[in-house]
Amino acid sequence: MAQAVEFIRALCEKRDEITHHLAWVEQRAVHSEGSRASALRSEAAVLRRDINEANILIDRLQRRYLNGDNQP
């Protein structure tokens, strides 16, 4: 169980880092044009998928190992 708690904590930290980076990328995309804006929107889409995947993994680990407790 301690490993699950540590892994969930690490996933939450990484998700928060990605979320911060996503905000930065989206801000840049708003102020960009053409191919640069398109590339930034594509990067933002990938980051959103990574955040969603992290949330799914966190939820599964919490349900399986922590009985659904929303720890970390």
Q: For residues 41-62, b (16+ Cβ closer than 10 Å) or e, as one string?
A: eebbeebeebbeebeeebeebb
Residue 68's pLDDT band (cuts 50, 70, 90): low
Q: Above 60 in pLDDT, residue 71?
A: no
Residue 72's pLDDT band (cuts 50, 70, 90): low
